[in-house]
Amino acid sequence: MKKILYPILIFSLGMITACKKDKGPTNNGNTGGKTDTTAAVKLKLTQDSIYLYAQEIYYWNSFLPVFNIFNPEQYTNGSTDLAKFTTEIDAYTQLSKNSANHNLPYEYDPFNPGSSKYSFIDDGTVNGELNATKGDFGFNYFYNTYTDLRISLVYPNSPAAAAGLKRGDKITSINGSTDIYIVTNPNDPSNDPAYKYVSNALNSGSTVTLKVTNASGSKTVTLNTKTYTVNPVIYVNTYPLTGGKVAGYMVFNSFVSLNNIQARLDSVFSVFASKNVTDLIIDLRYNGGGDVETSSYLSNLIAPSGASGTVMNTTYWTANLQNDTYPLLKKKISEPAGWFKPANQVEKFTKAGAVNVNRVFFLVTNNTASASELTINNLRPKMNVQLVGDTTYGKPVGFLSQLTIQGHYLYTPEFETKNSSGQGGIIQVCLRAEALLQEVLLRVNRITKI
């Protein structure tokens, strides 16, 4: 059974990114004003099923009221079925109370209060991304400042790559509009009209015209969405440094399913071993998570050989799963009795590859989430882990990857994972680049400047 750790919406000043929560087609469930009894029944059945699954497997389900009191079919706001499902999910995820955080919901999103921070439902888009397939313009963006909108990443083989867009390009207009900067509501960027315009244009449209500038000048390009295969290993290099040290540097952008990335990771670490690297630098600044299996494999590639056979992490599932009380989910999976108990959810290190170092640097931001945080936490008790950047997103929980309801994929937390020292979730960063890392960053300035 596949587990994933995947974020929903991640943004803040300096890192407002091209991620969106409503990933469904705009006409999903829209009957154009005509009555369709079959569609109406399907809508209600799906709403009921979402809540019934939440009652059974949601990580904080002890806060949920009985079915009739919650009444999932009351959530009728939204022009599409997917929007109605999202409203329902937002409602039940705000019922929990986290005593460690002023009794706010465990899924409280400070940037969008009332919306779930983790849970969502979509049309299969995330499942496709985990299988290394995307269907978009092929770039991520962020606000370097309120009035400086930049491209943070361009995927090879994407429409953006074909148009010659580069990391660091400044976007000066979108679809002819220069009103793209956060000036009206800087204290609440997510509700700023310009931010919403940019988000809708770059996340929801099928075509977009951009004017960009860089050191070479300016140009205007028109992009159309396209399906392409993702290689999340964006950049790799090794750098001989002073003192006889060699740094191996990798930009890793997504934990896609292991079968789609294992050969590439093996190749990268084989090169690192042949160059006798003494230190690793793993750039996870734009990595929002993904497949837990891939996180474990990368952890085994990085870990020193002495970690083999020791505990990597333990997964803690919701109480109903631990107690084998999950009749709905049993219709979709088949696991032996007691499988979900913590004693049966301990993963141990099995060293992979020939790289054997004792120190790893992770470059992180508040965009570094989920499976990225899991990888870092896996390694912290086993080696010298140095973090440079900003405090990470903080997503200690994860989802089952194939929970479908009437053709939709439901992602709602069912488990959390902790390392051998009991650490999980948000990672505070208080380190600044030491001499070795500064030397590498100077060498790769074109990659790390923005």
How much is the pLDDT for 437?
61
Q: Which of 34-38, 319-323, 356-360 has the lowest mean pLDDT?
A: 34-38
Comparison of pLDDT for 9 and 303, the residue scoring more: 303
Where does the pLDDT of residue 398 fall: very low under 50, low under 70, confident under 90, or very high at 90 and above? confident
> If you average pLDDT over residues 146-166, what whole number do you get?
92
The fraction of the chain above a pLDDT of 70, given in percent, is 85
The fraction of the chain above a pLDDT of 90, given in percent, is 60
Comparison of pLDDT for 191 and 269, the residue scoring more: 269
How much is the pLDDT for 37?
61
> If you average pLDDT over residues 279-301, what whole number do you get?
93
Q: Which of 102-111, 141-150, 263-272, 333-342 has the highest mean pLDDT?
A: 263-272
How much is the pLDDT for 447?
39
pLDDT digits (tens, 9 = 90+) for 94-139: 999 999 999 999 999 887 899 999 999 988 777 676 666 678 899 9
**pLDDT at position 433 over 70:** no
How much is the pLDDT for 54?
98
Query: Using CA atoms, how far apart are residues 26 and 312, in angstroms rounded to an integer?
Result: 42
How much is the pLDDT for 2?
54
Q: How far, CA to CA in Å, does 152 sit from each of 73, 155, 289?
A: 41, 10, 17
How much is the pLDDT for 5?
52
What would the two tokens of residue 222 be?
Answer: 């028109």
Q: Which of 22-26, 36-40, 194-198, 246-250 has the lowest mean pLDDT?
A: 22-26
Query: Using CA atoms, how far apart are residues 181 and 103, in angstroms rounded to an integer?
Result: 35
Comparison of pLDDT for 170 and 5, the residue scoring more: 170
Report yes or no: 255 and 287 within 8 Å, Cβ to Cβ.
Answer: yes
Query: Using CA atoms, how far apart are residues 133 and 285, in angstroms rounded to an integer?
Result: 21
Where does the pLDDT of residue 400 fall: very low under 50, low under 70, confident under 90, or very high at 90 and above? confident
Comparison of pLDDT for 441 and 170, the residue scoring more: 170
Report yes or no: 363 and 388 within 8 Å, Cβ to Cβ.
Answer: yes
How much is the pLDDT for 438?
63
How much is the pLDDT for 3?
52
What would the two tokens of residue 387 be?
Answer: 């973090």
How much is the pLDDT for 366?
83
**pLDDT at position 270 over 80:** yes
> If you average pLDDT over residues 251-265, what whole number do you get?
93
Residue 200: Cβ within 10 Å count: 12
Report yes or no: 380 and 361 within 8 Å, Cβ to Cβ.
Answer: no
